Structure 1
Amino acid sequence: MRHLIELLDGAVAASYVEAGIDYRPRYTPVMRALAEGTPRTVGQIAEAAGITQPAATQTVALMLKEDLVATMPAPGDARQKLVRLSERGRDLLPHLQRCWAATSAAAASLDADLPYPLSATLAHAIEALQCQPFGARIRAARERLTLQDHKEET
């Protein structure tokens, strides 16, 4: 799994370099969540992007350093911050959308070359892991192995 991710992520990162864009692929879920132009809280970004709130917080912090996003106080609650694309982020968006379209086309090409589409397999795996997380599966397997060891000892 790790090797597959390295192959895919490495190629996506290289495609940004080839397009002349200084950009990290991990920013994409946040960029997509903010692309429509509506400022959002980090929690709203996390929900829209399908990532955890800590991941969204970390990504937004990195994007702030690179001037891709900006923050402002939320109306009515200055403790809450809203995140929006900065001018640099808005300027970069059309270039990113072309890269994303090329990546989607490449993913479709990969799906066509496989006996089972990778995108569908991953969607099924995510659904199965939402029903029973991998950690729970590991604990259950450990328990089965422990019971099996005890049976063999007796």
Structure 2
Amino acid sequence: MKQGLGTQLRHLIELLDGAVAASYAEAGIDYRPRYTPVMRALAEGTPRTVGQIAAAAGITQPAATQTVALMLKEDLVATTAAPADARQKLVHLSERGRALLPRLQQCWAATSAAAASLDADLPYPLSTTLAQAIAALEQQSFGARIRAARHRLSQTGSLHGDKEIS
């Protein structure tokens, strides 16, 4: 039985994240792969709001909020009140986060080289395919595509006119 797109993507993430997590452990670093987009967004040293982190990292604001909360508990980041609005928090690397950054950057370089190796083994580079898929979904969301398919199905009894697909 062919696996669905969501199942394949979850399995791919499990394979990638599991190997990346293992590489951190092998390097003696207690660190989760999900922290990397936030760490990279803060690596230059400029404090950012969670919204700014999300935009810079290319993740959703809820994901950034959850990740920052976890990183606060592990003392990788700290927050301060924004000068213009004390209700708004600025996130920055903690002393521990800054100290860990050089070792993380070495791990990221190895991960990047491994990703390039994977791309080279595929008929179409995964990184390019993923970027194209994200761009296509930004143009028309998957939800809109589902609704259009559902409409076609209700009109024709088939997703592709009179052709049934198996």
**Residue 41 of structure 1: CA displacement?**
1.0
Q: Identity over the aligned pairs, expressed in percent?
A: 84
Q: Is 2:93 aligned against 1:56?
A: no
SS in 2 for 1:36: coil
Identify the structure with bigger relative contact order (alpha carbons < 8 Å, sequence gap 6+): 1
**Residue 124 of structure 1: CA displacement?**
0.7
Q: Is 2:135 aligned against 1:127?
A: yes
Gapped runs of 5+ residues in structure 1? Answer: none
Distance 1:144 1:68, change over 3 A: same
Under a length normalisation based on structure 2, what TM-score does the superposition of the two structures give?
0.87
Gapped runs of 5+ residues in structure 2? Answer: 1-8
- Runs of 4+ in structure 1 deviating by more than 3 angstroms, as ranges, are none
In structure 2, C-alpha distance between the alignment counterparts of 1:65 and 1:40, rounded to whole Å: 18
Q: Is 2:121 aligned against 1:113?
A: yes
**Residue 76 of structure 1: CA displacement?**
2.9
Under a length normalisation based on structure 1, what TM-score does the superposition of the two structures give?
0.94
In the other structure, the counterpart of 1:7 is 15
Q: Is 2:118 aligned against 1:143?
A: no
In the other structure, the counterpart of 1:100 is 108
**Residue 143 of structure 1: CA displacement?**
1.2
In structure 2, C-alpha distance between the alignment counterparts of 1:4 and 1:54, rounded to whole Å: 22
CA deviations on 1:77-101 (whole Å, 9 max, x unpaired) are 2111111100110011011100000
**Residue 50 of structure 1: CA displacement?**
1.1
**Residue 139 of structure 1: CA displacement?**
1.2
| Structure with greater helix percent | 1
In structure 1, C-alpha distance between the alignment counterparts of 2:45 and 2:149, rounded to whole Å: 47
In structure 2, C-alpha distance between the alignment counterparts of 1:101 and 1:85, rounded to whole Å: 20
In structure 2, C-alpha distance between the alignment counterparts of 1:99 and 1:111, rounded to whole Å: 18
SS in 2 for 1:82: strand
**Residue 45 of structure 1: CA displacement?**
0.9
Number of residue-to-residue matches in the alignment: 152
| CA RMSD between the two structures | 1.5
